[in-house]
A and B are shown apart, each in its own frame.
Chain A
Amino acid sequence: MNPNYLQLFRALRPETSLILGALAALGLDLVVVKRHTLEERLRLSLWIGAIAIAAAMAHVWLGQRGSVFGGVLMLDKLAVATRLGALALALLTLGMVRGARALRHPAEYVAIILFATIGFTLMAAAQQLLVVFLALELASLSLYILAGIDKTRPESSEAALKYFLFGGMSAAFLLFGFSLIYGLTGSIELGEISRQLAVQHVSPLLVVALVMILVAFGFKAAAAPFQLWAPDVYEGAPPASAALIASASKLAGLVLFTRLLWNGLGATSGNVVTADGTPGWLPMLAIISGASMLLGNLGALAQNNVRRLLAYSAISHAGNLLLGVIAVGQGRNVWPVFFYAATYGLATVGAFGVVGAIDRANPGGCRSLSDLAGLYRRSPLLAGCLAVFVLSLAGIPPLAGFFGKFAVFAAAFRLGGVSGPAGWLALLAIAMSAVALYYYLLILKQALVAKPAEPVQPIAVPGVTVIALIAAAALLVVLGVWPSLLLDFL
């Protein structure tokens, strides 16, 4: 390896601008803390954060491509697309922060969102186990803090603790898996690992390593049976934090593990096209995927809390996303699952933005589904945007969620029709989408049809949040009508 620090610095300019933005937000807040109200400080921090993210996006767009620093980072099309996607989702999250209940530490909140975003952009490009681990931990540690940042509510701290304990355990599993992989292959570079594994037999130690990495992946993606943290965290964390946890973190994590599994461990994938019982990680992934679809959708039917319902919906979407990872296949067609994850992230950010705005307007917060009642009268904008987000999550054409699902299922069928587990899983996913329609329509029934029990006040939504909500909804519609826009650009 020939270290070229100048090249590394150029490749990391997006991360540098995010760090500078976070430091500027913290520093300026120290200067203005005495003389200004909480709201003014929040506005200042949000603008700095938005500028930093916009600068990072420009750097990603204009920056160099290709392998960096002897293959530690890989800035290919997928990395650039994921970095842009994660940055855009973080930007939308900043817009949602403004509309949600005000927190006591605005600058810290924005700075930590930026730190988490650095983790996401590194996750998108990591090509070496050490960078994978560090990026994942940077993002995770920031997200634990974001979940628990509302110190006035015990639910927030409790959500953070649960997230932290589950996340810490998954990190330990991942690390042990990595150490075994390193022991078996003698390298921490994904390319070298892949070459070494291609000439090895599947040893028991390798199976242990694969199981451990998949456990960590399952935790990160909130897939069954590792989903226990998701409903509690989505319910307890501030809505904007939950939006980031559910969207940008999912997208970056999914791309990270797709790269890790296919590029690094592709030689031990096993077989799911036909049910011949070849050992590998694909059959394990298929089981996790099917379990998530069943548990997520059936669990969501029983929920009365909006955020828990969104969490169970996230678990079921995790099942579909894992099916997408399976469908990447030997042809390395990552775009269906990328499209799915990106559009799912957009819809989730938007949905949590709406929940956050209602949460701020209602004295009792936004808990049960009936808190949404009469939303169409209180704020036609929120109701309309919520309808777009929820219908996209449900996969109704012509919204982008439909094309995400369509592309993933089509890719899964293309692997080998319905002759093997991959095809059966796609059939299950289609059946479960019909079940999911029921609980998504329950949300919309409350928001668009139900009459509120008592007279309610209109909801005032700040301008920044209005722009973010409309941008997310417009993107979902545009990408749904012209999905080729995103796919061509990639």
Chain B
Amino acid sequence: MIGPSLHAYLAISALLFALGFLGVLIRRNTLVVFMCLELMLVASTLALVTFSRFNGTMDGNVFVFFILTVAAAEVAVGLAIIVALFRKRHTIQVDELNSLKN
């Protein structure tokens, strides 16, 4: 097969996933955390497309369409929650969201 090997694609996918996860863990701005979550989903998408090509079945490609739809719905819900929170608290920094602690 012409083009990069399976391992190259997988390495990129794992790298994207790790970047996203790291971002979720260390970034303090909710919007950036949110974008990092999307990055993790995209990493899985890349892996699915790669496997679909190298397995020779369409399941992975079909899966990706649904993931894109779900990701869009997730963005809608997530941004709505962030807006609702910002109206009440006037901040979206993760550190300052601590009203639910004993």
Contact = CB atoms under 8 A, between A and B. Distances in A.
A161 B62 CA distance: 30
Contacts of A335: none
B51 A182 contact: yes
Contacts of B84: 148, 151, 157, 160
A49 B78 CA distance: 26
Contact of A175 (B21, B24, B33, B41): B41
Given A130-B63, A151-B84, A161-B30, A144 B100 contact: no
Interface string A430-465: 000000000000000000000000000000000000
Nearest to A147: B81
Q: Is the interface of B mostly helix, strand, loop or mixed?
A: helix
A133 B81 contact: no
A308 B47 contact: no
B20 A172 contact: yes
Contacts of A130: 59, 62-63, 66
The number of chain B residues touching the other chain, given as a range, is 35 or more
A178 B20 CA distance: 17
Contacts of B48: 179, 182
Nearest to B67: A175
A180 interface: yes
B43 to A, nearest CB: 7
Nearest to A136: B70
A145, A175, A178, A231 interface centre (most CB from chain B within 10 Å)? A175
A11 to B, nearest CB: 19
A130, A151, A161, A232 interface centre (most CB from chain B within 10 Å)? A161
Interface string A418-432: 000000000000000
A303 B101 CA distance: 11
Interface of A: 129-130, 133-134, 137, 141, 144-145, 148, 151, 153-155, 157-162, 164-165, 168-169, 171-173, 175-176, 178-180, 182-183, 186-188, 231-232, 235-236, 303-305, 308
30 contacts: A129-B63, A130-B62, A133-B70, A141-B70, A141-B73, A144-B77, A144-B78, A145-B77, A154-B89, A160-B81, A161-B85, A162-B97, A168-B34, A168-B37, A168-B78, A169-B21, A169-B24, A176-B17, A176-B43, A178-B44, A178-B63, A179-B47, A179-B63, A182-B51, A183-B47, A183-B51, A183-B54, A232-B101, A235-B100, A305-B102
Interface of B: 10, 13, 17, 20-21, 24, 30, 33-34, 37, 40-41, 43-44, 47-48, 50-52, 54-57, 59-60, 62-63, 66-67, 70, 73-74, 77-78, 80-82, 84-85, 87-89, 97, 99-102
